[in-house]
Amino acid sequence: MNKRVPIVIANWKLNGGIDLLCTSVAAFIGKHFSAKIAICPPYLYLRDMLNFLQHSEIMIGTQNVSKYESGAYTGETSAQMIKEAGGSLCLIGHSERRQMFHENDPSCKIKVTRVLNSGLMPVLCVGENLQQREAGITNDVLFRQLHDALDGLDLGDKRIAVAYEPVWAIGTGKAATPEEAQLVHEYIRSELTVLFGKERAESIHILYGGSVNKNNAYELLSQTDIDGLLVGGASLDPEHFMQICLHA
């Protein structure tokens, strides 16, 4: 029986604008969910979104964060700024950042540390690509991603989450089956146990992401170690995303 309250996070990526912001706010405001819901719009919309949703239960997060605190780093946004703006969480190491923007495990570790120190929740994204899955090295890839980013971290009472996002499932319409995902989530929890001890590992949310929609959300979430969902494409349709949230 899964005792962790599910977290459902929308990742808008480089999509949306004022129209999506307004329709999402209209759809979500005043609604109550059993799960915790977060939306990660592009940075520019963070404040507007927070202002509109300030009396709602919806949390706002970002899709990335700078590994730097301040200084001559043109185009960057720090964890402290996100905190000051009212954000609650930051995605770190999304596969699109790793593939297209040279994000790697050491930079993820710095970002995780900065985000934790700012009092926000880091959501570390991990996952294997198709070639790695077919080569049977999924667990090796995850081992490295988890240990390189989290080894030696002193969590104290700070919160962290992990999102398992198999790269082959992102944006492809081909989600992992609930059973496939559960096996990997179980492995991730076993490594979190090595890193942080059993009690702490049991409290960490492990989210699944990759072609989640309203038809597969419930079955995914009914698995023991699937504690939430990270939703890309389907979150761009507020009514569809709402259905996912209501199932959670």
Chain contacts with ligand PEP (rule: CB under 6 A)? 11, 165, 170-171, 209-212, 230-234
156 is in an annotated binding site: no
Q: What tokens does 66 get? A: 């700078």
Residue 179 bears catalytic tag: no
Q: Which residues pair with 126 in a beta bridge?
A: 164
Reported as type and span, the H/E element at residue 69 is none
Nearest residue to ligand PEP by CB is 232
CB of 184 or CB of 234, closer to ligand PEP: 234
Taking the C-alpha atoms of residue 236 and residue 74, their distance in angstroms, rounded to an integer, is 29
> Could you tell me whether strands 205-209 and 121-126 are parallel, antiparallel, or unpaired per DSSP bridges?
unpaired
Phi-psi region of 156 (alpha: psi -120 to 50; beta: other; left: phi over 0): left
| CB of 65 or CB of 195, closer to ligand PEP | 65
Q: Where are the alpha helices (DSSP H) in 78-233?
A: 79-85, 95-100, 105-117, 130-134, 138-150, 178-196, 198-203, 217-221
Position 77, amino acid: T
Nearer to ligand PEP, 41 or 233 (CB): 233
> Which position among 94, 185, 205, 247 bears the catalytic label?
94
Say which residues have a Cβ less than 8 Å from residue 74's Cβ, sequence separation at least 6. none
Q: How far is the CB of 214 from ligand PEP (least distance, A)?
A: 12
Tell me whether residue 21 or residue 175 sits nearer to ligand PEP (CB atom).
175
| Shortest distance in whole angstroms from residue 9 CB to ligand PEP | 8
**Minimum distance from residue 197 beta carbon to ligand PEP (Å):** 29
Selected catalytic residue, list 96, 103, 128, 165: 165
Token couple for 109: 């570790």
Q: Is 199 a catalytic residue?
A: no
The token pair at 150 is: 């989290």
In angstroms, give the least distance from the CB of 175 to ligand PEP. 8
**CA distances (Å), 244 to each of 181, 216, 234, in order?**
18, 9, 9
Residue list, annotated binding site for substrate: 11-13, 171, 211, 232-233
Residue list, annotated binding site: 11-13, 171, 211, 232-233
Catalytic residue numbers read 94, 165
